[in-house]
C-alpha cells in the first residue's frame, strides 16, 4: 500500500466515523458477542488469514533486498532466480489469501447484517401502533440500513484491520530495527507529520460531511413529502412553488459549496502527505545510501528498508484511527440495541390458545383504557426530538361493557373523540385494555394466539390503505394461498370485477402508492374484497364509508352487505340504514356508553341518540340519501 493510498484510507475513516467518546457498558460488548457467536468459526479463520497475510507482506521486501545483495555481490544467477520465484510464489499466495480473506469478510459481514436486520425488523413488527404513530419512518429505516452496516464494519473491516496491522507493525519494526535501527528511528520521527494532520483534517472534514448529510436529509425529507400523491396535491392547492424551489435550491447550493471545499481540502491534504512520503523515502535512500557507501549497510538492506517503510506507516496510521472506527461501530451497535430494547406492549403468551371454532361472540367487560405515553413506546432519537413527551396514560375508556352475540351487528355512534375507534382497536389487540376484559369466543384476547386472532377478525378503516403493489398482491395479503378464481369471486362480490378487468394488466396492475391510482370508493371496495377473501368470522368497520360521495358510498355499502352477512360485526357507522338494521346500537360519549338499544328503542327514549338523529339523520332520511351518522372518531 502506497503512502498516498494510506492517506486516503485514514482520511476517509476519520471523516466517516461517528465521533463519540462515551464509555460503553460491558453489557453492550456482551450483546455484540452474542450476535457474533454463531459466526465465531469464520471469525477465527478470518483472524488467522489476516496474520498469514501480514507475514507474507513483510517477507517480500526482505527477499527483494536479498536479490539486490546477490546482484551486487556477483552471486550466481540461480540464487537470483530462486529469490524471484519465491517472491512470485509469495505474490500468488498473497493474492489467493486476499481473495479468501475477502470471501470470509463478505460472508461474515453480510451474515451479521442479515442477523441484525431480521432481528430489528421482526422486533419492530411486534411494536404497538402507538410506536408507528410517533416514529419518523426515515429514522427507523436508517436503523435498519446505516446503523446495521456501521455495526457490520466492526467485524468485516475493523477486526481484520486491527489484527493484521498489529502483526504487520511488530514484524516490520523488528525487521527494520535489525537492518538499521538509526534509519528506523528517524522514520518514526516523521510519523506525527503524517498522522496528526490526518486526524485534524479528518475531524474538520467530518463536520463538513455531517452538515452536507443534514442538508441532504432535509432535501430528501422534503422531496419524499412533496412527491407523494397527497403531498403533491396539497402543494398544488395551497403551496407556493417559487418559495419551495428557493428553499430547496438554497440547501442544494450549500451542499455544492461544501462539496467544493471538501474536494479542495482533500487534494491539499493528500498532496502534503505525498510530499511527506517522498521525504521519508528520500531519508531512507539518502541515509541508507550513505551507510551503504561507508560499508556499514548492505545495498539490499537499503531497498528492503524503503519497501518496508510503507509497511510501517500504513499500519501505524490505521491503528491511530482504529479507536475512532471501533467507537463508531460501537455507536452503531448501541443504536441498533436501542431499538431492540424497546419492549413491545403486545405479547403472545407461551400458553396461548386458538380462537374456538364456529360462530363467535364479542364481549367487553368493564374495560378501562388509556393510551400509553411516548416514553413507553418510542425513542427520542426515532422521533427526532430532544426528549420524549411523558404525558399520556389518561383514561379514555371508563368501564365499558357490552356483548355482540354470534352473527349480530353492534353499531357504535357518538361525537367525534368519544372513543369509538379506540374500542375498535382493542379487539384485534392493536392495544390491550388496562383493566377489564375483551373476549372473542368467550376467551380473553390476551390468551389467544396472534395467528388465530388475525384469522378470525378483520377490519376495514376509513383510509382504505393499499400498498404500492399489484391488485393481486394487495388481495393475497389476506390469504396468500387463494386461487385466481377466489380473487375474481371476491372482486365480483365487492363490485370491482368490471373495474379490474378494464385495467391495463388486470390483476397485475400496480395500484400506486397507498392505492392512489384508484378512487376513494374503489380503494374501500378493494379493502372489503381483501376482507371477503380472508373469510374472517368477526368484522370491524371503522367508518368505512366516511368521506365518500353518495354514488361511491352506495357501491361500498353493497359490498359491505356481503362482508357482514353471517358475521359478528362491530360497526362505527355513518349510514342510517346500517344503524337502523343493527341488532344493538351503543351511544358512546366521553369514553362511556350512555345509551344502548335498537333504533326504535333509542328514538323512543328521546335521549342522545334521538338528538343525533334529529340533527344529523333527519335531513338525509327525508331526501332519501345516505346521510352520515356521526363524525369520525
Least confident of 266-270, 297-301, 365-369: 266-270
Confidence of residue 15 (pLDDT cuts 50, 70, 90): very low
pLDDT in tens, 211-254: 776 677 667 767 766 776 667 766 766 667 777 788 888 888 88
- Residue 381 pLDDT exceeds 90: no
pLDDT value at position 19? 46
185 Cβ partners below 8 Å, 6+ apart? none
Pick 398 or 550 by higher pLDDT.
398
Pick 210 or 37 by higher pLDDT.
37
Pick 110 or 408 by higher pLDDT.
408
Rounded Cα gap, residues 259 and 205, in angstroms: 10
- Residue 571 pLDDT exceeds 80: yes
Closest Cα to residue 196, out of 61, 432, 14, 395? 14
Question: Of the spans 104-118, 208-222, 316-330, 615-629, which averages the highest pLDDT?
Answer: 104-118
- Alpha-helical (H) ranges within 384-460 are 420-426, 450-456
pLDDT value at position 21? 46
pLDDT value at position 216? 72
Rounded Cα gap, residues 196 and 202, in angstroms: 10
pLDDT value at position 586? 92
Least confident of 34-43, 454-463, 513-522: 513-522
Element (H, E) at 196: helix 191-227
pLDDT value at position 346? 81
Pick 584 or 620 by higher pLDDT.
584
pLDDT value at position 627? 42
Pick 237 or 179 by higher pLDDT.
179
Pick 325 or 116 by higher pLDDT.
116
63 Cβ partners below 8 Å, 6+ apart? 83, 86, 87, 90
Rounded mean pLDDT, 591-606: 90
pLDDT value at position 488? 92
pLDDT value at position 363? 92
In the chain, residues under CATH classification 1.20.1560.10 are 3-340
Average pLDDT, the chain: 78
Percent of the chain with pLDDT over 70: 75
Looking at the whole model, is its pTM more than 0.75?
no
* CATH number for the domain formed by residue range(s) 362-464+538-623: 3.40.50.300
- Residue 382 pLDDT exceeds 80: no
pLDDT value at position 624? 45
- 410 SS3 class: strand
Cell readout for 7 is: 492517506
- Residue 618 pLDDT exceeds 60: no
- Total Cβ atoms within 10 A of residue 456: 23
Local structure of residue 373 (DSSP, 8 states): P
pLDDT value at position 366? 94
Rounded mean pLDDT, 156-171: 75
pLDDT in tens, 532-553: 888 888 888 877 665 555 665 6
Angle at 523 between CA 579 and CA 134, to 5 degrees: 90
pLDDT in tens, 334-369: 778 888 888 887 888 889 999 998 888 999 999 999
Angle at 405 between CA 399 and CA 406, to 5 degrees: 135
Rounded mean pLDDT, 151-158: 68
- Residue 565 pLDDT exceeds 60: yes
pLDDT value at position 323? 62
Rounded mean pLDDT, 119-124: 84
Rounded Cα gap, residues 516 and 495, in angstroms: 18
In the chain, residues under CATH classification 3.40.50.300 are 362-464+538-623
Question: Of the spans 25-29, 288-292, 482-486, which averages the highest pLDDT?
Answer: 482-486
Is domain 3-340 classified as CATH 1.10.357.10?
no
Least confident of 199-208, 294-303, 395-404, 617-626: 617-626
Q: How far is CA 483 from CA 276, 361, 487, 528, in A?
A: 71, 30, 6, 18
- Residue 265 pLDDT exceeds 60: yes
Question: Of the spans 27-31, 207-211, 236-240, 416-420, which averages the highest pLDDT?
Answer: 416-420
Kindly write down the DSSP assignment for every residue of 309-326, as one continuous string. Answer: HHHHHHHHHHHHTHHHHH
pLDDT value at position 621? 46
Amino acid at each position: 500500500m502506497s503512502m498516498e493510498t494510506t492517506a486516503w484510507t485514514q482520511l476517509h475513516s476519520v471523516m466517516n466515523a461517528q465521533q463519540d467518546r462515551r464509555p460503553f457498558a460491558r453489557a453492550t460488548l456482551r450483546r455484540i458477542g452474542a450476535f457474533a457467536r454463531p459466526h465465531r468459526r469464520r471469525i477465527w479463520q478470518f483472524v488467522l488469514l489476516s496474520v498469514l497475510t501480514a507475514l507474507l507482506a513483510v517477507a517480500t521486501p526482505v527477499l527483494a533486498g536479498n536479490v539486490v545483495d546477490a546482484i551486487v555481490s556477483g552471486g550466481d544467477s540461480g540464487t537470483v532466480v530462486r529469490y524471484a520465484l519465491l517472491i512470485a510464489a509469495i505474490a500468488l499466495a498473497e493474492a489467493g489469501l486476499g481473495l479468501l480473506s475477502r470471501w470470509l469478510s463478505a460472508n461474515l459481514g453480510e451474515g451479521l447484517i442479515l442477523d441484525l436486520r431480521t432481528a430489528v425488523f421482526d422486533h419492530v413488527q411486534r411494536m404497538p401502533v402507538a410506536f408507528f404513530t410517533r416514529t419518523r419512518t426515515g429514522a427507523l429505516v436508517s436503523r435498519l440500513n446505516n446503523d446495521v452496516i456501521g455495526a457490520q464494519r466492526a467485524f468485516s473491516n475493523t477486526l481484520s484491520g486491527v489484527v493484521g496491522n498489529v502483526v504487520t507493525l511488530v514484524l516490520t519494526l523488528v525487521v527494520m530495527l535489525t537492518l538499521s535501527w538509526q534509519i528506523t528511528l528517524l522514520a518514526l520521527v516523521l510519523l506525527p507529520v503524517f498522522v496528526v494532520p490526518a486526524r485534524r483534517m479528518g475531524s474538520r472534514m467530518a463536520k463538513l460531511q455531517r452538515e452536507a448529510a443534514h442538508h441532504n436529509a432535509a432535501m430528501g425529507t422534503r422531496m419524499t413529502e412533496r412527491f407523494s400523491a397527497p403531498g403533491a396535491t396539497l402543494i398544488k392547492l395551497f403551496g407556493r412553488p417559487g418559495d419551495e424551489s428557493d428553499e430547496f435550491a438554497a440547501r442544494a447550493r450549500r451542499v455544492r459549496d461544501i462539496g467544493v471545499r471538501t474536494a479542495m481540502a482533500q487534494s491539499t491534504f493528500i498532496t502534503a502527505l505525498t510530499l511527506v512520503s517522498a521525504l521519508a523515502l528520500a531519508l531512507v535512500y539518502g541515509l541508507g545510501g550513505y551507510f551503504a557507501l561507508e560499508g556499514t549497510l548492505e545495498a539490499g538492506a537499503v531497498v528492503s528498508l524503503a519497501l518496508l517503510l510503507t509497511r510501517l506507516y500504513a499500519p501505524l496510521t490505521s491503528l491511530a484511527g482504529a479507536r475512532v472506527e471501533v467507537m463508531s461501530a460501537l455507536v452503531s451497535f448501541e443504536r441498533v440495541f436501542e431499538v431492540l430494547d424497546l419492549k413491545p406492549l403486545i405479547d403472545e403468551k407461551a400458553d396461548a390458545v386458538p380462537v374456538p371454532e364456529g360462530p363467535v361472540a364479542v364481549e367487553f367487560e368493564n374495560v378501562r383504557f388509556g393510551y400509553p405515553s411516548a416514553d413507553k413506546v418510542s425513542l427520542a432519537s426515532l422521533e427526532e426530538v430532544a426528549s420524549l413527551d411523558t404525558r399520556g396514560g389518561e383514561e379514555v375508556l371508563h368501564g365499558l361493557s357490552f356483548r355482540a352475540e354470534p352473527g349480530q351487528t353492534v353499531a357504535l355512534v357518538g361525537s367525534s373523540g368519544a372513543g369509538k375507534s379506540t374500542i375498535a382497536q382493542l379487539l384485534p389487540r392493536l392495544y390491550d385494555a388496562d383493566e377489564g376484559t375483551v373476549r372473542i369466543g368467550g376467551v380473553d384476547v390476551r390468551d389467544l394466539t396472534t395467528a388465530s386472532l388475525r384469522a378470525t377478525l378483520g377490519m376495514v378503516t376509513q383510509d382504505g390503505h393499499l400498498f404500492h403493489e399489484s391488485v393481486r398482491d394487495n388481495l393475497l395479503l389476506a390469504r396468500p394461498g387463494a386461487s385466481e378464481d377466489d380473487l375474481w369471486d371476491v372482486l365480483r362480490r365487492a363490485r370491482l370485477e368490471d373495474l379490474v378487468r378494464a385495467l391495463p394488466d388486470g390483476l397485475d396492475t400496480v395500484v400506486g402508492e397507498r392505492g392512489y391510482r384508484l378512487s376513494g370508493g374503489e380503494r374501500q371496495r378493494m379493502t372489503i374484497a381483501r376482507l371477503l377473501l380472508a373469510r374472517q368470522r368477526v368484522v370491524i368497520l371503522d367508518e368505512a364509508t366516511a368521506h365518500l360521495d353518495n354514488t361511491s358510498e352506495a357501491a361500498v355499502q353493497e359490498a359491505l352487505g356481503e362482508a357482514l352477512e353471517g358475521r359478528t360485526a362491530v360497526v362505527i357507522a355513518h349510514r342510517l340504514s346500517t344503524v337502523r338494521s343493527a341488532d344493538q346500537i351503543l351511544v358512546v360519549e366521553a369514553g362511556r356508553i350512555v345509551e344502548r338499544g335498537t333504533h326504535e328503542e333509542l328514538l323512543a327514549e328521546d335521549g342522545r341518540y334521538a338528538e343525533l338523529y334529529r340533527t344529523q339523520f333527519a335531513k338525509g332520511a327525508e331526501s332519501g340519501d345516505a346521510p352520515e351518522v356521526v363524525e369520525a372518531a
